Each structure stands twice: as C-alpha cells, then as structure tokens.
Amino acid sequence: MGVRITLPDGGVKEYPEPISALKVARDISPRLAKAAVAARVEGVMRDVDYEIKEDSSLEIITDEQPEGLELLRHSAAHIMAEAVKRLYPKAKLAIGPAIDNGFYYDFDVPESFSPEDLGHIEAEMQKIIKEDQPFSHWEMDREAAIKEFAAQGEDYKVELLQDMEDEQVSVYQQGEFVDLCRGPHLPSTGKLKAFKLLHVAGAYWRGDSRRPMLQRIYGTAFPKQKALDEHLQRLEEAARRDHRRLGKELDLFSLQEEGPGFPFLHPKGMVVWRALEDFWRQEHRRRGYEEIRTPIILNESLWRQSGHWDHYRENMYFTEIDEDTYAIKPMNCPGGVLLYKRRLQSYRDLPLRYCELGLVHRHELSGTLHGLMRVRCFHQDDAHIFMLPSQIQEEIEAVIDFIDYVYKDVFGLNYHVELSTKPENAMGSDEIWDVATEALGRAMDAKGMVYKINEGDGAFYGPKLDFHLEDCLGRTWQCGTIQLDFMFPERFDLTYVGEDGKEHRPVMIHRVIFGALERFIGILIEEFAGAFPAWLAPIQAQIIPVGDKFLDYARTVQSRLGDGNLRIAIDTRDEKVGYKIRSAQLEKIPYMLIVGEKEESAGTVSVRHRQLGDLGCLSVDVFQELLQEEVSTKALAPKQTTVSK
C-alpha cells in the first residue's frame, strides 16, 4: 500500500512503499537533503532517517530553523559527553540539554574540571566530529536499561530511569557512547561544524542542595563559524559590561560570604540608588500616588488569608515571635490591603493609589543567585491601586503610559510585553480570570501595543502584563508588571460605599516599574557599561588641579558647583595630570575639570568629557548651568555642541 506525503506548502508526494524523511527531502531538492537535520512528521519531531509508513504531513527541518538549532546544540552536548568519557572514564553522566544560546552537560568527576581541561575536551570533540559517527536510535525495555546503565556505574541515569513510568525508553548511540535520550539528533557527528566550550560551573543534582554537587560544562554551537564568532564577540562584550565586575571596579556594591544573595550597597552605589529613588518619588507624586511603608514581618494568619501560605510558602522566610509564627514578607501587597481596610472607603476616594518602595525577602536556591539580578532580598517599587470596576481600563492604561515613559523616554530602553494567563495553582474561578485577562488585553489594544500570550504564567491571584526590558546585547529582563486582581478584595473583604449608599467590592491593580530596584541598577550598569549619564553618576565632575598650589582654587570651584547640588570631587593625589585623567576615565566620571594657573587667573575650568574628549575652557558659572541642565533633563548623553574650544 502506498504512502501519501503532504508538504507544508500543500503539495503532495506519493510513494509506493514506506520511505524515510531524508529520501523525501532528496526527492524535493538535493540541497534540502544536505541541509536537513530532522523532520516533523505529523507534528512530531523525528530523526531525519525516520521511516514514514503511512499517510503523513512532513516538514523537513534544517539547522537554520530554531528547532534545528536546538537539535544541533543537543547533539553537541552528546558529542561533548562522549569526549569527556573518553578522556575521563571515571566520569558519571547526569543530564545534558540544549538551552538558550547553547548547551550544557553535568558530570560527576573525582576532580573539578579546569580551563585547560576544556581545551582537551574540545580537541577530543573535534576528533569525534572528524570520525563522522552516525547517531543511531532504538527503544528498549526500561528494566533492561536500568540493568545496563547500572552495570556501567551510571547511577544518575539509573535514578532517572527509576523515576520514569514508561515501560519503553529511548536510547541514542554515536560511536561507543550510549545515552538515555528522547532525541532527535543530527544524522551524524560530522554535521557539527562550529562550537565552543565556554566555562565550568557547579550544579547540584536536580537543583537540590542536599544532593551531590556536579561539574557543569557550558558550551555553544551554531550552524556556521561566522554566527559562532559573532556570538563569542557578544559574550566578550557582555563580560566587559558584567555588572558584577563593574560593581567591584567602580566600588558600587558587593556580595559578602556572610550574606549570600543579600547585596551590600557602597557609598557610590547609594548615590545611584538615591537618584533613582528621588526620580521614582517625584514621578509618583505627579501621578497622584500616596507613598506608604509597611512592616517587613507580619503574622502567619495574614499570609494564610492572602493565599501566599498555600501558593508561595516555599519561597518565604519565617521567624517566631512570642511563640507565634511570623513571615518575612515576600511581597508588599497584604500590607497595602491592611492600610486600605483601616477605614471605610467611599467611591469618592477611588481610585486610591498607594506606592511603596518596600523591602521583600524571597528564598532563592544558591545556584540561581546572580549579582544584583537574582538576590534574596530586594526593594520592589510597588504600587497598589484600589478602584471602581468602571475605572479598570483607565487605570491600566495610565500605568502602561507610566512604564513606557520610564523605559523609553527616560532610559532609552526597548521592551516587549507578555500577557500571562491563569496558572495551574490559581485562586478563583475561570469566569473571574477571563474577565481580568480580557480587561488587560483591551487596555493593550486601546494603546495600540503589540503583546504575546504567555499561557499559564500569571500570578496565583490574577493575570498580568509583564514588561521585558531589552538591553544593548539583545538580552531581556522581566522588570515591570501590571497584575489585575479580583481575588484579594474578595479574600480580605474589601469594600467601598457606592453612590447608592451600599457597600461594593473594589478591584486591585498590583504594579511595579523598576521591578526590583537592585535588578534595575544591575541592568543600568550593564546598559551603560558603568558610564552612567550625569544625573545618575556618583561623581558628576572631578576637578584635577595641575599642582598642589592650585588646590585652593579647586576647592573654590568645588564649593561653587556644589552649591548647585552637583556632585563634585577633587583629585588631590600627588600624580601627573595625565595619570589623573586616565584614572577618572577608568572611574567613568562624566566630566574632568583641569585647573591651573591659566584657569585660576581667568576664573574658568578646562573641561574634558569622558567620551568627547577636550571641550575647551568655560567659566565656572557657565559650566554649572550646562551640567545642571544635563542633570535636570536626565539627558542620556551631553550635547556635543554644548562646549566649544
């Protein structure tokens, strides 16, 4: 009986007998067959040599497609694991998936891998690629697989198999290397052309700190060397901008062994913090928000009522006071709710907008901590808006405008939006969730904004709009969020007196803009590579006297500029001017003001900018006016025509 193959363009090919996906690709085009790495048969990803035995839809997958690139990287992980087993026979295999921008494999080895070891492993991978070993696949009985992997001493594979429910399991082999894997994979190892092993990190087995610490080798792979080279250049730029390195070099913040995940802000870091905080406070006042502060420790009963006890407890810290259980708050919202309830509210009071820069604590696994980006305590620039049902769309649109202003107009950042819908552990009925989700979508549509649906990723109490910032390297960071909540008002029995004199239920919006202030600072450090715009810079101008005899004039200049609330420092070291200029450049100070005999006589400063270089001489008053304008307008860069030589 023949086989009828339907192609993506609607075309049909008929064959008198079963045929492999690769042969169909060859029948379509020899070039397509050469590029093929897998096939999608009836919507299921298969190896390219998969035999099609009945009428099916077929799409040939190449390594230029996202699915093909993921498959290529997964295959690279297997090739790396084979190389490790060749070089280190005592290594035990854990898991090795493809991930965003690369792949990794976890190993249990007697001694940690070194950077030199990565070079040896890469060389062995090249040998395996040159051998062009075919990837072969078969199914085997789960119990038989357990016995086989146990005989090889592969304890982690045995554990994975024991946790499976399927009686048949999928196995792949290339050369002498056999691994438990669903696939699919490249046709052969020779199809891997461009790869690079990047670094080694520790990783607990199954992410559990009580389990063995494994060695995780990260790598990346691309279809072509040019794409790999471009990616490696981006990684170099990312390393240059890494906020952890710059935070140390610029003396902004640190993370101490005594407090993993609990950042310490240094004096210079606090200047950046206060500048952002002042901006945050000013903009909220303009938009009718009232600032509040709520305690960081509240009784267990509150967290049970809010739903956090049932839905978020594993991420919370607890303490005992007077033999009663209290929680350190992971979120600010229950405290804001209590303030709303302190008195009977009228419809005339709504919308009521409370904002709070609140300190929250969340338990994060040690392996997930990352500088300021992923911490265990952070300050959320929270706001909770209590409103009439009729005010929902207007308030959501106002928050969208606020976020857009901060991201685009003030910081020049691009972003995209995701609408996250009801998760599995959600509170409330589908009907309530549908109403809330549709309201968020309507507000986005009214603003003419594009967004995508992120199924099942809403908060447990309501759907949300998540704003993902895109940095200069193309990476995204989820910061802002708008959550529409019908559940908290219900659970806390929130009411307001309507025009009819009766009590009604308000609706809540939970929203943040910076997200976590710590993370936002980390993003800005990397976005600006530590060279903050003048309004955020810890030191806005450094005065460099040509010699000690001009220190008095330098102090006079500092006093006059400081009277304008500018942050001015003096380099009093007994060093040459060139050395001081280079030092200020390394500290990424926006302006350097050189003062010597000529400047003192004329009452001027010789102005130099960290990027634009020598800008000539200006009177102190004129420079003060120009810098104050740059700071007050929150300019991201100086006007190049501001100063003339």
- Decide if pLDDT at 423 tops 80: yes
Between CA 539 and CA 535 the distance in angstroms is 9
112-130 residue pLDDT tens: 999 899 999 999 999 999 9
**Catalytically annotated residues:** 333, 362, 380, 382, 384, 464, 510
Tell me which residue of 374, 395, 396 sits closest to 467, measured CA to CA.
396
- Decide if pLDDT at 644 tops 50: no
Alpha carbon distance, N-terminus to C-terminus of the chain = 87
Q: For the chain, give every domain's residue range.
A: 3-62, 67-241, 254-527, 541-632
What is the second-level CATH architecture of the domain 3-62? Roll (3.10)
226-256 residue pLDDT tens: 999 999 998 898 889 999 999 999 999 999 9
359, 379 in Cβ contact below 8 A? yes
Please give the biggest Cα pair distance in the chain. 101
| C-alpha distances out from residue 432 to 387, 394, 486, Å | 16, 19, 7
224, 193 in Cβ contact below 8 A? yes
627, 534 in Cβ contact below 8 A? yes
Span 541-632: which CATH code? 3.40.50.800
72-92 residue pLDDT tens: 999 999 999 999 999 999 999
| C-alpha distances out from residue 426 to 340, 385, 462, 478, Å | 24, 21, 8, 21
Burial status of residue 181 (CB atoms within 10 A of its CB: 0-12, 13-18, 19 or more)? buried
Strand pairing class (102-108; 213-222):
antiparallel
2, 52 in Cβ contact below 8 A? no
Instruction: State how far Cα 215 lies from the chain centre.
Output: 23
Between CA 72 and CA 372 the distance in angstroms is 33
Between CA 462 and CA 396 the distance in angstroms is 14
- Decide if pLDDT at 377 tops 60: yes
Predicted local distance difference test score (pLDDT) of residue 640: 60
Is the four-CA dihedral 486, 490, 494, 496 of positive or negative sign?
A: positive
Q: What value does the mean pLDDT take over residues 600-608?
A: 95
Structure-block tokens of residue 395: 């308030």
Predicted local distance difference test score (pLDDT) of residue 368: 79
pTM: 0.82
38, 47 in Cβ contact below 8 A? yes
Phi, psi of 514 (to 5 degrees): -65, -35
Residue 1 — very low, low, confident or very high, per pLDDT cuts 50/70/90? low
**79 in the Ramachandran plot: left (φ > 0), alpha (ψ -120 to 50) or beta?**
alpha
Class of domain 254-527: alpha beta
173-224 residue pLDDT tens: 999 999 999 989 999 999 999 999 999 998 889 888 789 999 999 999 999 9
Between CA 101 and CA 500 the distance in angstroms is 59
| C-alpha distances out from residue 293 to 38, 354, 559, Å | 57, 9, 36
488-528 residue pLDDT tens: 899 999 999 999 999 999 999 999 999 999 999 999 999 99
Span 67-241: which CATH code? 3.30.980.10
541-576 residue pLDDT tens: 999 999 999 999 999 999 999 888 899 999 999 999
